[in-house]
Amino acid sequence: MDNHESTKQLVYTLLERLANTLALVNDVAWNRGEAVQEPLSNTLQIWGVPEKLKEIRDAPPTKQTELVEAFLVEEHKDVEQEVEWMSEEIAGQKDLIKSSDCAVEAMEEKLDIEAEEIRRLRALLKKANDSIIDKDYVIGLLREDIKDLKSTPEAQIQKKMSSTVPRNQESEN
């Protein structure tokens, strides 16, 4: 293989690798890091890369340089457009993340306020329960006092007297 042929083969290989890399970058950009949905060869076919490379390979040596330059210029423009598009996409994603962060912060603040309200309501409920327990305790003590008072001799005498007095006499008095 002469020097011209080896240079030609090297340029062709480099162009193929460049096209493959650009296709992979494109797939990653479109899929945002997800698994590539269509094979790399399909992307290259869509871009017409195999035809362009075949045209370069089959062209006479004087025309090859011109075709390589045109291919590289076109690919460079495509890469610039992809980079610009990805930059806009990234900026949009950053804006979404910022707005999501703001929404999360607002929700956290709301949750903090609601948690404080729940703590306040629990404290009120505890006071109410304590108050009910205190009232039940007081009622229990009063019942015991009433029972004790009923069992005193004076209460017993009073009870006997009210039960021995006929009802007719009560109505006359």
Residue 166 CA to its chain's centroid (Å): 85
Q: Is the pLDDT of residue 109 over 90?
A: yes
* Range in 37-41, 107-111, 159-163 the model is least confident about: 37-41
Entry pTM: 0.39
pLDDT above 90 coverage of the chain, percent: 8
Angle formed by the axes of helices 49-58 and 40-47, nearest 10° = 70
Q: Is the pLDDT of residue 78 over 80?
A: no
pLDDT of 119 reads: 92
Mean pLDDT of 154-162: 74
Higher pLDDT: 169 or 134? It is 134
